[in-house]
Amino acid sequence: MHGPALLFCPADRPDRYAKAAAAADTVILDLEDAVAPADKARAREALVAGELDRERVIVRLNPAGTREHALDLAAVRAGGYTTVMLAKAESAADVDATPGLRVLALCETARGVLNAAEIAAHPDTAGLMWGAEDLIASMNGRSSRLPDGRYRDVARTARATVLLAARAHGKAAIDAVHLDIADIAGLRAECEDAAASGFTATACIHPTQVATIRAAYASTEEEREWARAVLAEAEGQAGVFRFRGRMIDEPVLRQAREILR
């Protein structure tokens, strides 16, 4: 990933490939839910022929164990792609079914969320993402959000579980898409929380969401000034010290380094 904004693009729409790449940091070419069953073969052909920079593309595969997954893998290898997103990942064995590739595991079922730590520990797993709507559907639920737009507790629990599992194993953590494209304020609030909580990136479904995601993940000038100043102060200190009224220790210094990074 080359930045915090990951944009989904249907793999059967090669006319959108270049526009998606120009808009976002990384493009997720989707062979799963965004493509109707009758169009999947055409989507794979377009994927193989696509001219996007392979380093800036993630290919979302159909779930492990399905016929579509095997066909997806063949197309990915024929097209020279190296990073895939595995839909509905539920175990380390699902990652095993995708050998030789960097895997972003999409934990979007109850089983997948509960096994997030096992999936994150797999050496081929580059990161985890969670998905609210598929998760609720896997449990025969009705909606991931309350009437006021906030996530229900079960969705918030899944989000935190996937984040903790990914970061505990040093892997990337990707926050779920915000489906209400017009709700920029809601997207901004979720992205600001994601960045503050430790997510690496947020996925999105429309180019107009990219700027909001980037702005939320970017540090402010005030934050950067504080980070530079506290790190400079730390050079003359041994152990814990006080800076601008706050106790500073190594975890705080790591936060400062991350802000500048």
φ/ψ bin of 226: left (φ > 0), alpha (ψ from -120 to 50), beta (otherwise): alpha
pTM: predicted TM-score of the whole model, two decimal places: 0.88
Burial label for 236, CB within 10 Å (0-12, 13-18, 19+), is: exposed
Q: What are 30's strand-pairing partners?
A: 10, 60
Domains belonging to the chain, first-starting first, are 5-217 (3.20.20.60), 221-260 (no CATH)
Q: Are 85 and 104 in contact (CB under 8 A)?
A: yes
DSSP letter, residue 90 = -
Task: Give CA–CA dist 207/189, Å, rounded.
Answer: 18
**Averages of pLDDT over each 10 residues, the chain, 261 residues:** 92 97 97 96 97 96 97 98 98 96 98 98 98 96 94 97 98 97 96 95 97 93 89 88 91 88 78
Task: Give CA–CA dist 93/166, Å, rounded.
Answer: 17
- 3-state secondary structure string across 21-57: HHHCCEEEEECCCCCCHHHHHHHHHHHHHCCCCHHHE
